[in-house]
Amino acid sequence: MPTRYLVLLLVAGLSLIGDAFALEPASTNRATELKERPAADSRTLASLASDSAVKVVARQGAWTQVEAGAQRGWVRAFHLRFQSTVEASSSGGSGSITSIFGFGTKEAPRTSKVATLGIRGLTPEDFKNASPDPAALRKMQSYRADRAGAERFAREARLAPVTVAYVGSGS
C-alpha cells in the first residue's frame, strides 16, 4: 500500500518537473540569423523571417538559444518577442497529469507588460581582444540616412525642428 502512494507521488512530481522545464514559446520580431554559437562572428545556420515561431532553450547574456523547426541555434535576445498572454486550452488544463490535480488549470488569460533583458556591457578583456571589422563598418554605414532623406522623413511625419545644444558647448 505505501508503495502505491510513493509511485503516485513520484509520477506527480515528475509531471511538475516536466512542466517547469517546458520550452518557452517566442517569435522573432524581425528577420534575424540563427547562429551556431552566441557570437556575431559565428557561422549562420539559417535565416529566420520576421514572426518565425521558436522555442527558447537557454539564455546567455545578449543571446538566446532557440529551436526553430528542426534546427537549434542562437539569436540575439532583443530579436525575440515572448508570448505575453497565457491562453487557457479548450479543456481548461495543460494536458498533463498536473491538470488532474488542479495545478495546471488556468482561470483566465492574463497579460503581462514586463519585458526585461539583462545584457552586460563590455569588459576590459573585450577591449583588449577587439579587432577591426571593415565589413561590419560598411554594413553599419549603409544604414545611415542622408540629410535630404532625413528631412523628407521628418516632413512626412510632421515633426517639428528642435535645436539641441551640443554637449561640449558649455551651455
Q: What is the pLDDT of residue 158?
A: 94
**CA pair distance 56, 75, nearest whole angstrom:** 10
* Per-residue pLDDT tens listing for the chain (171 residues): 567 766 666 666 655 554 445 578 999 999 999 999 999 899 999 999 999 999 999 998 889 999 999 999 999 988 998 876 444 444 444 555 555 555 555 555 555 555 555 566 777 788 788 888 999 999 999 999 999 999 999 999 999 988 888 877 555
Per DSSP, the residues of 36-49 read SSSSTTSPEEEEE-
User: Distance between CA 103 and CA 97 in Å, rounded?
Assistant: 9
DSSP string, 134-169: HHHHHHHHHTPPPHHHHHHHHHHTTPPP-----GGG
Element (H, E) at 6: helix 2-20
pLDDT at residue 109, rounded to an integer: 52
Point out the domain boundary residue: 119, 136, 158.
119
> 63 and 6, same structural domain?
yes
Question: What range defines the domain where residue 7 resides?
Answer: 2-119
pLDDT at residue 84 in the model? 60
Whether 85 and 138 share a structural domain:
no
Q: How many domains is the chain partitioned into structurally?
A: 2
pLDDT of residue 105: 52
Q: In terms of domains, do 70 and 47 share one? A: yes
Residues 107 and 159 in one domain: no
Evaluate whether 50 touches 29 at the Cβ level (below 8 Å).
Answer: yes
- Tell me the CATH number at 95: 2.30.30.40
**pTM of the predicted structure, to 2 decimals:** 0.43
